[in-house]
Amino acid sequence: MSDDTGEPEVELEARLEEQETFEPPESFVEQANVSDPDVYEEFEENWPDCWERAADLLSWDEEYDTVLEDGDAPFYEWFTGGELNASYNCLDRHVEEGAKNRAAIKWEGELGETRTYTYGDLLNEVEAFAAALRDLGVEEDDVVTLYMPMIPELPIAMLACARIGAPHSVVFAGFSADALATRMNSADSEYLVTCDGYYRRGDALNHKEKADKGLRGVENDVQTVVVDRLGDELTHFLGADAHDYGELVAEHEGASVEPVSRDAEDMLFLMYTSGTTGEPKGVKHTTGGYLAYTAWTSHAVLDVKPEDTYWCTADIGWITGHSYIVYGPLALGTTTMMYEGTPDYPEKDRLWDLVEKNRVDTFYTAPTAIRSFMKWGTEYPERHDLSSLRLLGTVGEPINPRAWKWYYKHIGDEECPIVDTWWQTETGGMMITTLPAINEMKPGSAGPPLPGGMMITTLPAINEMKPGSAGPPLPGVDARVVDANGDEVEAGQAGYVTVNNPWPGMLRTLYQNDERFIEEYWTEYSDEEADEWVYFPEDGAKIDEDDYITILGRVDDVINVSGHRLGTMEIESAVVGVEGIAEAAVVGGDHDVKGEAVYVYAIPEDGYEDRHAELEEKAMEAVLDSIGPIARPEEIVFTPELPKTRSGKIMRRLLENIASGDELGDTSTLRNPEIVDEIADQVAGD
Ligand code: PRX
């Protein structure tokens, strides 16, 4: 017998199979950064001042006056009056405190070359590049676009921007030229830092070509800096206006660049993400609240310590990498790892080899990766000594209990707590997760009488993890599961996640689009008249009797492919742009490893009915061109019609069921029920 991941059932011991709750080992709890169960109560009683605890992890140039300014909600402001610099907080202060020679970034290229930057090295290069950016004309508040893969120059450029108060907008290197152009235009960005190429499964990919193509679609005159990653492998081509990163840094070596004091509410960066419409949303994060929040959650949830080697396997091109490879860990002065390549190159034990070699303490990854590891088998982690690991984490999508248990046993050796962290680009940092060394107290649940008859009213914390459930909201976060009216659902029921009070890491707005900010996040459950603002993340969830929240997935037109957030409308608009395709619907279907996969249903125009192969190729190309390989459809199905309601709405739910191989249910209310079986047969026939 095998399960959804193809792993034989016998692989997991029966004991583990049946176990529903897990407690962290005593040894972990004893050394944890946050282990006092009172933290929940403290945060609740002192809210919003509790967040000073996060702000205290930072060094401020100017102390803030007010923790939370809510006069213009939902345009909340945090730590107002405060001034600080993110680059100073991530670099200088550690050097000043004697950590100059501690490794800040440990990097490994796909071909095996390694680079270690100490805090001293990193500061020097960040200052040199910051000076270079200034010389190129970058001024405070200019948006600098960074289009780079997992090479150290990416965090260096981010910190150099932060140093001079220029917000960065990182565009994931796997995104297409068109996606780069859209984001640069939207941010009105005049500067681009990119590279010649990088390695994937041993091949040198030409990245510069893609960047150049993107630049042709950018309205501004752009100054470009190119990092030479590949040396001679690819021609390190510099256009007339492009500058060589290496030369710039060499010219400015030894430069001293004062970190600019930024207002707590000044923008630190922009990050584009997908939403319901085709237009990506420019999520704006600020300097004080974001940095305090990522530092605090790195401290409390990831248990990061300066002496650790910490590894988050995300790509810095996504929010997880921003918050938990760069800003959170570096603010805490730890050693953060970066790996350039894929986990199965040259062999499927690459990540475990890295864990062993670097004695990694904390490993934070996505469920999709765990499902791949499961599929590959236990022999790969078994080749390595993983005993340095102390804590494991997951992020990005729901984790199925079997994958959780596999991770727990085969990577953590049943010795590491797992934090399943729910959050979003918009939230800046983690929102719902167990704290690894404590769990929420259970208010109201009277404990057993103590010897002598004395009663206690609250049970001491039991540090339970429940596979598949992210856990309770973090201290100070008021996340709930509500029904369509905004009323909390009963334990065991499903509903929608809401966040009913603000938090420091929250997005402040959508870049230059306050209206859309309100519309997207603050309309569904807020009561504007009563000035009651409720954040709606557009996720479905269930809650249990212990207030543990199990995330069920997006309830909007966003799908989650391998932990990557994609808008179905963006894909649809690429497909309908193909000549010969009249209409298309894009949905997510269940996928063993990716979680969800992209399914396209398309109607050919008259005259194109017999040209499916040609249309498929063009549609595929269109998706790759407008978004990139991450959005590559699993299947493109051609059909003369799409299932529609009598009022003419496409029944997406039905198309999702077809893609997932689920029961189709009642189709009798459709205008064209006969088309459903026809489509289902086509999908099943492959
Ligand atoms: O649906 C949720 C899912 O990922 C979405 C956010 O995607 P993005 O902004 O790209 O950020 C991903 C990394 C933080 C959420 O709306 N998601 C994220 N973490 C989890 C999750 N779903 C279930 N469990 C999680 N731990």
pLDDT of residue 2: 42
Closest approach atom of ligand 1 to CA 538? 16
Residue to substitute in 423, 425, 499 for testing ligand 1 pocket (most ligand atoms within 8 angstroms of CB): 423
Residue nearest to atom 14 of ligand 1 (CA): 424
pLDDT band with cut points at 50, 70 and 90 for residue 640: very high
**Rounded to whole angstroms, how far apart are CA atoms 323 and 425?**
9
Residue nearest to atom 13 of ligand 1 (CA): 396
pLDDT at 315 over 90: yes
Q: Are 302 and 391 in contact (CB under 8 A)?
A: yes
pLDDT band with cut points at 50, 70 and 90 for residue 394: very high
Closest approach atom of ligand 1 to CA 470? 26
Which of 347, 409, 333 is CA-nearest to residue 12?
409
pTM of the shown model: 0.93
pLDDT at 274 over 50: yes
Closest approach atom of ligand 1 to CA 399? 24
Task: Find the 365 Cα to ligand 1 centroid distance in Å.
Answer: 12
CATH 3.40.50.980 fits domain 112-260: yes
**Rounded to whole angstroms, how far apart are CA atoms 458 and 104?**
42
pLDDT band with cut points at 50, 70 and 90 for residue 13: confident
Asked which of 19-33, 308-322, 371-385 is least confident by mean pLDDT, the reply is 19-33
- Owner of token pair 């200088």: 92
Task: Find the 91 Cα to ligand 1 centroid distance in Å.
Answer: 29
Task: Find the 423 Cα to ligand 1 centroid distance in Å.
Answer: 5
pLDDT at 235 over 70: no
CA 363 to chain centre: 15
Task: Find the 371 Cα to ligand 1 centroid distance in Å.
Answer: 16
3-state secondary structure 251-267: HCCCCCCCCCCEECCCE
pLDDT of residue 1: 38
**Rounded to whole angstroms, how far apart are CA atoms 313 and 317?**
12
Please determine, for the modelled complex, whether the ipTM score is greater than 0.90.
yes
pLDDT band with cut points at 50, 70 and 90 for residue 441: very low
pLDDT of residue 682: 87
Task: Find the 395 Cα to ligand 1 centroid distance in Å.
Answer: 7
pLDDT of residue 302: 98
In the chain, domain spans: 1-85+286-447+459-476+488-552, 112-260, 557-685
Task: Find the 551 Cα to ligand 1 centroid distance in Å.
Answer: 9
Fold equal for 112-260 and 557-685: no
Average pLDDT over residues 290-315: 98
Average pLDDT over residues 42-68: 98
Task: Find the 206 Cα to ligand 1 centroid distance in Å.
Answer: 30
Strand segments, DSSP code E, in 252-350 are 262-263, 267-273, 281-286, 309-312, 335-339
Task: Find the 420 Cα to ligand 1 centroid distance in Å.
Answer: 10
Sign of the C-alpha dihedral computed for residues 432, 463, 440 and 438 taken in this order: negative
CATH of domain 1-85+286-447+459-476+488-552: 3.40.50.12780
The pocket around ligand 1, CB under 6 angstroms, is made up of: 273, 319-320, 395-398, 420-425, 470, 537, 539, 551, 553-554, 560, 565
- Average pLDDT taken over every residue of the chain: 92
pLDDT of residue 234: 65
For 447-497, how does the pLDDT look when each residue is reduced to its tens digit (9 = 90+)?
Answer: 444 444 444 444 445 568 999 999 999 999 999 999 999 999 999 999 999
For 504-532, how does the pLDDT look when each residue is reduced to its tens digit (9 = 90+)?
Answer: 999 999 999 999 999 999 999 999 999 99
pLDDT greater at residue 56 or residue 3: 56
Residue nearest to atom 25 of ligand 1 (CA): 422
CATH of domain 557-685: 3.30.300.30
